[in-house]
Amino acid sequence: MDYKLILQTIKNEVAALENTGNVATYIPELAKIDPSKFGMHLNCISSGEFNFGDCNERFSIQSISKVFSLTLAMTLMGDELFERVDVEPSGDPFNSLVQLEYEQGIPRNPFINAGALVISDILISKLENPKKEFIEFVRKLSGNPSIDINESVFNSELSNSFRNAALVNLMKSFGNIENAIEDILDFYIYQCSVSMSCAELSKAFEIYANSGASFNSEEQIITSRKTKRVNAIMQTCGFYDEAGEFSFRVGLPGKSGVGGGIVAVHPGQYTVTVWSPPLNPKGNSELGMYALERLTTLTGLSIF
């Protein structure tokens, strides 16, 4: 497979496209990002690494962090975790209150905001120093000890977290939250404020393409059984209420974030990250979706 030629083709096609998306503005700091940024990094199990554009520039990973927090929680708990958060697609916006009210405080899945807030609550209960242990976990997965949060994004998001606060309060009223609401919001926004590059994210996601272990390490970070489950949730729930569209067009498990990043994995083959800040109406990177669709089309490789 000539991945170098395939990425060059994608680069040329993306450059010729008109981007009609919009950078996220509900977190004011994200509105400052240059909308012309674009990076792509492909990390293959057997063929090496291929990339172009702004693939080494760090950006706010936002909801991509939910995969890391879920994974960390799954290393600490068994199936009882899913008594507090379901694994079904939501079909509603990522910050919907209506569905949560209807389903009595049990979030549809760990990747909508309500579900990730429950996972944050679990990690606060299970870890002695949640922020420190979370960032160390991400650093371990990526192999880069310099990864950290963007303080400006953290402060901007914390001061505009009214809807997330409403979600936690609603779940607290149903008895699905154990810790202080302020502590949960603080930790949740901390994880969303992590900054990573396409290259770093592709490295960190290796475990999801390799049955729970990194490509070059024998260390088993998470069991193959739990890896399968994380991949399944990414496939069905990783793109808010556009998960079906992503499966239809791209055909890979993955996760997006409103910072414009998308990470996808082909188990046994590769991990790939794209970054383009302008989002489509569903909150996913417009050009990122296109680039990943072209990747699976040109390679002929998807999970289907």
- Contact predicate 123/187, CB 8 Å: yes
140 catalytic, yes or no? no
Strand order from edge to edge, sheet including 254-256: 48-53, 39-44, 270-275, 261-266, 254-256
Q: Which of 138, 168, 258, 265 is catalytic?
A: 258
240 catalytic, yes or no? yes
3 catalytic, yes or no? no
Alpha carbons 184 and 193: distance in angstroms, whole number = 14
Q: Which of 14, 60, 65, 66 is catalytic?
A: 66
Alpha carbons 173 and 163: distance in angstroms, whole number = 15
Q: Which of 3, 190, 240, 290 is catalytic?
A: 240
Q: Which of 3, 14, 60, 63 is catalytic?
A: 63
Residues 6 or more apart from 55 whose CB is under 8 A from it? 39, 40, 41, 197, 198, 199, 273, 275
Q: Which of 188, 208, 270, 290 is catalytic?
A: 188
Cβ neighbour number for residue 76 with a 10 Å cutoff: 12
188 catalytic, yes or no? yes
- Contact predicate 292/284, CB 8 Å: no
258 catalytic, yes or no? yes
User: Which active-site residues does the annotation give?
Assistant: 63, 66, 188, 240, 258
